[in-house]
Amino acid sequence: MSTAVRSKPAAGSANSGGAPARRAVVRWAWRMFRREWRQQLTVLGLLTVAVAAAVAGMAFAADAPSSPDASFGTAGHMLVITGSKARLAEGISAASKAFGRIEVIYHAKAAIPGSVNSVDVRSERPGGEFSAPMLRLDVGHYPGPGQVAVTSGVAAIYQLRVGGVWRTGGGTLQVTGIVENPANLDDQFALIAPGQIRDVGQATVLFDATAQQLRGFRVSAGAQLTSRPQHDSGFPPAAVLVLDTIALSFVGLIAVATFTVLAQRRLRAFGMLAAVGATDRNIRLVLLANGAVVGCVAAVTGAAAGLAGWAALVPRLEALVAHRIDTFSLPWWEIGAAIALAVATAVGAAWWPAWAASRVPVVAALSGRPPSPKQGRAFAALGAVLLAVGLGAIAMAHQGRVPPLIIVGLVLTATGVLLVGPLAISGVAAQAGHAPVSIRLALRDLSRYRARSGAALAAISLVTGIVAAIAVSAAAAAQNEGSPGAVGWTNLPANQLMIYLSPDGPQGTPEVVPARTAEQLAQYQRDVTGLSAVLHGQAVLPLDAAIAAGMPVLQEGPVNGRPTTMLGKTQAGGGGGRQPVLAISQLYVATSAVLRFYHLDPAAISPATYILTARSGLTGAKILDFGAVVVGCKAAVSAQCGRPGVHPSRQAGGNGPDRRDLASPAIQVAGLPHYTSAPNTLLTSHAMAALNLRPLLAGWLIQTPAALTAAQVTRADHWAAANGLTVETTTGSPQASLASVSEKAIAVGVLAVLTVLAMTIGLIRSETANDVRVLSATGASGCTRRLLTGATAAALALLGGLLGIAAAYLGIIAWNRGVHSLASVPATKLAVLIVGIPLAALAAGWLLAGREPHGIDRHPLD
Amino acid sequence: MTALELRNVSKVYGDRAAEVHALREVSLTVEPGALVAVMGPSGSGKSTMLTIAGSLEEATGGEVFVAGRSLATLSRNERARLRRRSIGFVFQDFNLLAGLTAAENVALPLELDGLQARAARKAALRALDELGLGSRAARFPEELSGGERQRVAIARAVVGERRLLLADEPSGALDSVNAEAVMRLVRTACRGEVAGVVATHDAQLASWADRVVFLRDGRMVDQTSPLPGPESLLTPSDRK
């Protein structure tokens, strides 16, 4: 009996069977996935969560940051002109002549009854050439002559409704709709039809222009020219993709362990496949197809979950970030990359088990015997090479400026650790000869089943490596934070508080100090002293800014005051007084009180020094008196060039402000604070005299013995609001944040490692259930069996911790291209990783294992 | 051309002190249409001889020819192709793939050989029909009885244009009635160009063979034609 087949096999299928063979194998893989998907639930779940988090995270990263559209619309530049109608007309005419196509939005103010504030009344054409993204109609219709549309905030202030009437400025307007600035929901205004505005006080001119046009444009008095920011702030989707890669590397290593177990369970089936003529490639395809199915299912499910979650989050997020979000305006390329990465992770994770399964001799496979472990030195060597290449890629990523290299580096590093792991396991097992029987067996079993224990080890190493990297980086950052002259990450220390006379506070550079009488200033001084007492302050330090002698009181918006000197850089473009200026730092006067506060010896200050500073990189900085700029846009009434980094003793200079001194004022680095808002740049008395400047009280610094509490900050805020002053406190300590992140990372890492151990130790021990039965039969107690499991878990955790920490240090060295960040060792946190976790694993293994096995698991084919 | 020829085949497992001689210079020739039974106690080398004959593992010494081709000259892929096209295996524990129906299991070697799924399925259904399993073609292995599973395994081993049927204790997991039925099918399959080798330790089942060879400690100690016993009354007419 033999059934002859008349059809010929497909062409080109001489050895491999071609497409029909692949179809048959993939069909079987799909059927097996449908039957055994529960066994792969961990990998499915982890991949799904990773994809969902990546999709939602990328959407958030792309859409949450505010957009320059809020002010610029689609325009590249904005000219704000303030003043009389004639001045507005002159400025608009000049802009039109210089730039061609422009769009003008006129502004007037409407008083709010009982309040000093006002509402912006805006004459803007709906669907304007540049302003279209800045205006949206929510309800009703856009206003015509005698009509107005208002934002919901304005409607609430004046208790208006669509169809109602708004009486303002002696006139009456019918409310026709509710509008908003979709790019800035905090922008509250009333919209009237173009040409209908009265009492115009300001005009916004939007336009596009070339650099040459800008250079040739003369900004008129009372106007301010601003260019659209070139770089959006925030966390870019590419960075989310990098984080996703790290997460997927971890999931991939767990998937390797899972697929290895799956391959072992299907070993007899693979043997049968080979017996009926399947090639090695066919056998590999079974597991690769399984991996692809797992990846696709997880990717689709995760993407759907992520998008659904994002869509559900958008309404709440809009209120939070104060701008409208187009739900499906997403970084689709990055999302596609995340999905592809998930599929690639699953397929990649299946590759090694697939390759190993295809190399098992047919007879051994048919009997279900796993291949005997080999030393695997070649793999370890390959792992070392991959590790080196991965670290090299991280080093070449220039601290995150080349995201693809980070991804490549992370993947190669994780793969390298995966390949090096088994050799480390066998090395430890080789030293187990004199250990108690449970520990000896545990270590040798890890070595015997190193395919899956190696994957688990790599996953643990990856987690501990990431946690160790965070801990070491946090320690280095903390040390850097405390070092003199380091660039500050934050505005103020947590125990200091700044009080500004200027209503703009730290936002105004230069500060415009309001004109106050001597009596008012004396009263302020008393109030500040009182506040300091309430806050248990240690010191109250008055801070003087410097103004040019004879600087008149000027009107700048709501402030009636004097602009102070600052340190800045004039940028290329324009000429003479029209150069745009980049603010560097507010300048304060180095009074004797300030010098005493910072323990600076006046005798140590070079007589020729103009500026004392804690800052570096001040090449090209100038002392700028911006009074005219602030008021009339005439830049640099007086400007002197600085030459930082040169010791005062090498500066040529005499006693008087001769031309040479004016061109090269000496800058002396001093032990001043490095916080951005603290008085970190001071004008010496020599500079004050030489530049004919005079001091002007600008504010106070209060120092408390401990970090200010939220209640104290709130109290200070209320006090300042009541007194017409501005208070600034720390916006957050990066040191504290890093310490917090580091501690949270440790907690998450411990949980992740214990989870990996829980998932893999059971698998490893289940393969040796027969050994445990033999142990029991020969009289081993429950204690021995418990120790066997506990020691297996503890050994993996210890090895993973050591490998992970080593990889973390190598990664940090590669990232920083040096060892300078390793000076501070977070000993306690590292001890948690290499001692705490193994002990926890030992305890968990001891408590949760030890039952006598009932029999040997066997999975017959049918 | 002989269907199978073993020339002084030896097989050694392990190294040095742990060496185990599974086969020692065994020679055997099986002509087309013949059925040879291999008998011997456990560990005598019956299964090893079959796996070497079926190219599932390599001999340590000697030569193996299947349908005139030396296995030593074939690559891994060529041996796989040989198994797909010329050699059919029947195992004691059936070895059907869970997840594939009876028809798909039978069609598997053909599909792996590159035959389109539709044509492979037709051939598989034909083979199942010949074994009386046409109605069970869509069932999965776990839905079949032990006897039915082994018949499906036989169908898979003979489907296509096989030249050599190798059965390792094909009735070992079956009751006596099913065991007889399976041997009858194996006997029926070995006709024309198809030869068969069956490893068994059951003399009654071995009596279905044209020739019986005896192995002990890896050596072929004897070979003979089975004595006609009472079971010869059950001998199918086409044997005569």
Which residue among B77, B100, B113 sits closest to A28, beta carbon to beta carbon?
B100
Question: Which positions 241-300 of A are in contact with B (Cβ < 8 Å)?
Answer: 268-269, 271-280, 282
Best CA proximity match to B60, nearest among B115, B4, B22, B103: B22
Which of B84, B110, B112 should be substituted to probe chain A, the one whose Cβ sees the most A Cβ atoms within 10 Å?
Answer: B112
Alpha helices in B3-68 (DSSP H): 46-53
Note whether residue B174 is domain-resident: yes
Q: Quick one: pLDDT at residue A602? A: 87
B206: confidence class by pLDDT, cuts 50, 70, 90: confident
Q: Quick one: pLDDT at residue A822? A: 67
Partner residues linked to B13 by β-bridges: B20
Note whether residue B233 is domain-resident: no
Q: Is-contact A850 A782, C-beta < 8 A? A: yes
What would the pLDDT profile of B7-64 be if each residue is shown by its tens digit? 999 999 887 777 888 899 999 999 998 899 999 888 889 989 999 999 988 899 999 9
Contacts of A821 (CB under 8 A, 6+ apart): A472, A473, A476, A480, A812
What tokens were used for A356?
A: 């190993």
Find, in chain B, the residue whose alpha carbon is nearest to that of A372: B14
* CB-CB neighbors (< 8 A) of A9 in chain B: 113-115
Best CA proximity match to A591, nearest among A541, A626, A657: A541
**Rounded CA gap, B140 and B152, in Å?**
11
DSSP output for A713-771: HHHHHHHHHHHT-EEE--S--HHHHHHHHHHHHHHHHHHHHHHHHHHHHHHHHHHTHHH
Find, in chain B, the residue whose alpha carbon is nearest to that of A2: B158
* A3·B108 Cβ contact <8 A: no
- For B45: left if phi > 0, alpha if psi spans -120 to 50, otherwise beta; the answer is left
* B115·A5 Cβ contact <8 A: yes
Note whether residue B210 is domain-resident: yes
Q: Quick one: pLDDT at residue A641? A: 31
Note whether residue B34 is domain-resident: yes
What's the sign of the alpha-carbon dihedral A780, A785, A787, A793? positive
What would the pLDDT profile of A319-369 be if each residue is shown by its tens digit? 888 888 888 888 898 899 989 999 999 999 999 889 988 888 888 888 877
What tokens were used for A649?
A: 């003793």
Q: Is-contact B182 B151, C-beta < 8 A? A: yes
* CB-CB neighbors (< 8 A) of A269 in chain B: 97-98
Note whether residue B76 is domain-resident: yes
Tell me if residue B113 falls in helix, strand or coil: coil
What would the pLDDT profile of A472-496 be if each residue is shown by its tens digit? 877 776 665 544 444 445 678 778 8
Note whether residue B237 is domain-resident: no
A326 Cβ under 8 Å from any chain B Cβ: no
Low-confidence ranges of chain A (pLDDT < 50): 482-488, 573-578, 627-664, 855-862
Note whether residue B230 is domain-resident: no
Q: Quick one: pLDDT at residue A849? A: 73
Note whether residue B161 is domain-resident: yes
Question: Which positions 27-56 of B are in contact with A (Cβ < 8 Å)?
Answer: 51, 54, 56
B93 Cβ under 8 Å from any chain A Cβ: yes
Look at B141 and A84; give whichever has higher pLDDT.
Answer: B141
Q: Is-contact A623 A641, C-beta < 8 A? A: no
What would the pLDDT profile of A182-198 be if each residue is shown by its tens digit? 988 888 899 999 888 88
Q: Quick one: pLDDT at residue A530? A: 86
What residues make up the domain containing B138?
Answer: 4-13+20-225
* Angstrom distances, CA of residue A59 to CA of A62, A235, A251, A345, A656: 5, 11, 22, 22, 60
Burial code of A786-799, b = ≥16 C-beta within 10 A, e = fewer?
A: bbbbbbbbbbbbbb
* CB-CB neighbors (< 8 A) of A371 in chain B: none
What tokens were used for A250?
A: 């971890």
* B51·A269 Cβ contact <8 A: no
pLDDT for B159 beyond 80 = yes
Q: What is the pTM of this model?
A: 0.67
**Rounded CA gap, A412 and A401, in Å?**
18
Give the CATH number of the domain where residue B94 resides: 3.40.50.300
- B136-146 mean pLDDT: 89
Q: How do beta strands B195-199 and B35-39 pair?
A: parallel
DSSP state of B237: G
Quote the ipTM score: 0.85
Length, in residues, of chain A: 862
Q: Quick one: pLDDT at residue B90? A: 87
Nearest-CA distance A13 → chain B (Å): 6
* B51·A362 Cβ contact <8 A: yes
**Structural domains counted in chain B:** 1
Question: Which positions 10-39 of A are in contact with B (Cβ < 8 Å)?
Answer: 10, 13-21, 23-25, 27-28, 31-32, 34-35
**Side-chain half-sphere of A673: how many Cα atoms within 13 Å?**
18
